[in-house]
Amino acid sequence: MSEIELLYLLAAVLFIVGLKQLSTPRTARRGNAIAAAGMLLTMVVTLVHQDIVSWGTIVAGLIAGGAVGAMLALRVQMTAMPQLVAAFNGFGGAASTLVALYEIGNTDGVFATETGVTVVLTLAVGSVTFSGSFVAYAKLQGLVSGRPLSFPGDQQLNAALAAGLVGFGIWGVAADAVPAYWLVVPVALVLGVFAVTPIGGADMPVVISLLNSLSGVAAAMAGFVIGNSALIIGGALVGAAGLILSMQMSQAMNRSLANVLFSGFGTDGAGPVSMSDKPVKSATPDDVAIALGYAERVMVVPGYGLAVAQAQHAVRDLTTALEARGVEVSFAIHPVAGRMPGHMNVLLAEADVPYDQLLDLDQSNPRMAQTDVALVIGANDVVNPSARDDPSSPIYGMPILEVDKAHTVIVVKRSLSPGFAGIDNPLFYLDNTMMFFADGKAAMEQALKALADV
Amino acid sequence: MSEPFVTGIVVFVLAAFVGFEVISKVPPILHTPLMSGANAISGITIVGALTAAGLSEGTLATTLAFLAVTTATINVVGGFLVTDRMLEMFKKKPVQRNV
């Protein structure tokens, strides 16, 4: 061990301090910069310390990767953030896999047993992260259906693929067999695809955080392969962070992580749904404007539909107009609203909604009874009272935003179609609920226009 | 098991606990930036990629090393930049004027 290790340790400290500051709104931006400085330090130390024989590959890779990364980061729409995070996870997994493959070539597959095991783990976890992330990307980008895709025997297929991974891994480690190591990669890539396809769109917050965790684990394993503690520490931090988030997201749906990953939840939703025959109250833009304009307190409840309709700016315009009239407006955000943890917060921040106006589940529910109007935009399952009242409901036990306790509920929705879970929502038929059938963005614009005459 | 490997395991386990402690109380509004910032840190594998690229000889090794540097750099540069872009948007409510 040399002094160089101390510089890597310094970088690891910068990562930890950066993450710590990232967890408070006031210091978050500085935290990100500190973590980035740590990363720059590791890169400089590596380039100075190693006896580099060829700079061409390094420079080419840095330029190509830097250009692509910067372009993606600076041009992405905030509504497309979940798929971009998924893609970055995928690239991280790919990088760790490639480093391990390079090491295999470098050593002709001859490793100490324990190192060989970490080579297999890097290849397997990195490849699953890569292909799984790009399936998630395709689902979120709408390139393939966001519905869970299951087929008979898929769990058995995945079990067989996992067994194949273990088999090739043992063969590689035991016999120093280069081909066996390489074969881990395609098997893991296929496993990554079939692990994510059965998981539906609304469960994506869990999947993305889990893939995030895996990209960290892959980096940590690569750290064992090349004997570098910066990779081990950085990877372990990310692995832990992603795991915490995925557990929090599962809890927010009252389901276990295993249930999210393996149940194919929502697959039955494609079939006919038993819809209530009860009448709903349909509202005009004028009805909505009157209800909102004469309210004292309004709670906006956004869901994935807000992102789909790109309605964040229109909502902001409407709430600004309401505040100008003296209406108190806040936003209630369910932990799994949207397609990644914190998705709604990012969208509303983009539309200049101050973050202290955004309330989480525990802050908003006690205020519902004092709320005059709850304005639900593109959210469904997270406001479904069945989760609280109906033990036979598939989402029973999931914590919800109890908008039905508000004096009046306005639900903006394109039709009465059920949400992701494929279950009817009794909220729509309550006496104090008005349905405003329209696209989220158009609805906000119409309501704003009507508000001028109220 | 070799001594460096055992040290590595110790470091890994302790770092994971530090990660749990540091991150377990993050407010929901920061979940996305935290995730994308952490994601950029997982690009630390760039250290291995740079080493590989600097020492690589032969077509296969050079190709692997080039792809490793490229993908890791996308992860690092893109991850930190997009996190910064998001955090720039997070604002507190300006002090309200009394009407």
pLDDT band at residue A375 using 50, 70 and 90 as cut-offs: very high
Interface of B with A in 35-94 (CB under 8 A): 35-58, 60-62, 64-94
Q: Stretch A47-61: mean pLDDT, rounded?
A: 88
Q: Stretch A207-218: mean pLDDT, rounded?
A: 95
User: Which of A238, A320, A350 to probe the B interface (max B CBs under 10 A)?
Assistant: A238
Annotated catalytic residue: which of A381, A404, A424, A439?
A381
Q: Is the pLDDT of residue A326 over 90?
A: yes
pLDDT band at residue A271 using 50, 70 and 90 as cut-offs: very low
The DSSP line for A362-397 is HHHGGGGGG-SEEEEES--GGG-THHHH-TTSTTTT
> Of residues A122 and B1, which shows the higher confidence score?
A122
Interface of A with B in 354-373 (CB under 8 A): 354-358, 360
Lay out the sheet containing A433-437: strands in order across: A358-359, A328-332, A297-302, A373-377, A408-413, A433-437
Cα separation, A94 vs A186, whole angstroms: 12
> Of residues B23 and A92, which shows the higher confidence score?
A92
Count of other CB atoms within 10 angstroms of residue A6: 11
Q: Stretch A66-91: mean pLDDT, rounded?
A: 94
Interface of A with B in 275-334 (CB under 8 A): 326, 333
Q: What angle do CA B50, B55, B56 make, to 5 degrees?
A: 95
User: What pLDDT, on the 0 to 100 scale, is given for residue A104?
Assistant: 95
User: What pLDDT, on the 0 to 100 scale, is given for residue A30?
Assistant: 96
User: What pLDDT, on the 0 to 100 scale, is given for residue A276?
Assistant: 59
The set of long-range contacts for A252-256, using a CB threshold of 8 Å and a minimum separation of 24, is: A252/A334, A252/A335, A252/A336, A252/A361, A252/A398, A252/A399, A253/A203, A253/A206, A253/A336, A253/A395, A253/A398, A254/A387, A254/A395, A254/A397, A254/A398, A254/A399, A255/A398
Contacts of B97 in chain A (CB under 8 A): none
Would an 8 Å CB–CB cutoff place A89 in contact with chain B? Answer: yes
Contacts of B79 in chain A (CB under 8 A): 69, 73, 88
Nearest to B49 among A99, A236, A240 (CB): A99
Q: For all residues of chain A together, what is the average pLDDT?
A: 90
Q: Is the pLDDT of residue A130 over 50?
A: yes
Q: Stretch A57-61: mean pLDDT, rounded?
A: 94
B31-67 confidence digits (pLDDT tens): 999 999 999 999 999 999 999 999 888 899 999 999 9
A304-324 confidence digits (pLDDT tens): 889 888 999 999 999 999 999
A381 catalytic, yes or no? yes
Tokens 């006690």 belong to which residue?
A366
pLDDT band at residue A210 using 50, 70 and 90 as cut-offs: very high
pLDDT band at residue A2 using 50, 70 and 90 as cut-offs: confident
Q: Considering the entire predicted model, what is its pTM?
A: 0.90
Residues A66-92, buried b or exposed e (16+ Cβ, 10 A)? bebbbebbeebebbbbbbbbbbbbbbb
Give me the residue spans of the domains in chain B: 33-89
Q: Is the pLDDT of residue A269 over 50?
A: no
A376-417 confidence digits (pLDDT tens): 998 888 999 999 998 888 888 899 999 999 999 999 988 777
User: What pLDDT, on the 0 to 100 scale, is given for residue A280?
Assistant: 87
Q: Stretch A47-58: mean pLDDT, rounded?
A: 86
Token code pair at residue A435: 């349905």
User: What pLDDT, on the 0 to 100 scale, is given for residue A204?
Assistant: 87
| Phi and psi at residue A300, to the nearest 5° | -90, 130
User: What pLDDT, on the 0 to 100 scale, is given for residue B41?
Assistant: 96
Question: In angstroms, what CA-CA distances link A26 with A21, A30, A335, B59, B88?
Answer: 8, 9, 21, 49, 11
Q: Stretch A155-180: mean pLDDT, rounded?
A: 93
pLDDT band at residue B3 using 50, 70 and 90 as cut-offs: confident
pLDDT band at residue A274 using 50, 70 and 90 as cut-offs: low
Q: Is the pLDDT of residue A53 over 90?
A: no
User: What pLDDT, on the 0 to 100 scale, is given for residue A148?
Assistant: 79
Q: Is the pLDDT of residue A68 over 50?
A: yes
- For residue A333, give the DSSP letter: -
Considering the four listed CATH numbers 3.40.50.1220, 3.30.530.20, 3.10.20.30, 3.40.50.1100, the one that applies to the domain covering A285-451 is 3.40.50.1220
Give me the residue spans of the domains in chain A: 77-267, 285-451
User: What pLDDT, on the 0 to 100 scale, is given for residue A339?
Assistant: 87
State whether residue A336 is helix, strand or coil: coil
A214-258 confidence digits (pLDDT tens): 999 999 999 999 999 999 999 999 999 999 999 988 988 888 888
Q: Is the pLDDT of residue A447 over 70?
A: yes
User: What pLDDT, on the 0 to 100 scale, is given for residue B99?
Assistant: 46
Q: Stretch A124-133: mean pLDDT, rounded?
A: 97
**Of the candidate ranges A100-104, A154-158, B86-90, the one whose mean pLDDT is the lowest:** A154-158
Q: Stretch B64-79: mean pLDDT, rounded?
A: 97
Q: Which residue of B has its CA nearest to A96?
A: B45
Q: Are strands A358-359 and A373-377 parallel, antiparallel or unpaired?
A: unpaired
> Of residues A264 and B10, which shows the higher confidence score?
B10
Q: Stretch A353-358: mean pLDDT, rounded?
A: 91
Q: Stretch B3-18: mean pLDDT, rounded?
A: 94
Tell me whether residues B36 and A88 touch, CB distance under 8 A.
Answer: yes
CA distance B95 to chain A (A): 11
Contacts of B66 in chain A (CB under 8 A): 57, 60-61
Contact A343, A205 (CB under 8 A): yes
Would an 8 Å CB–CB cutoff place B20 in contact with chain A? Answer: yes
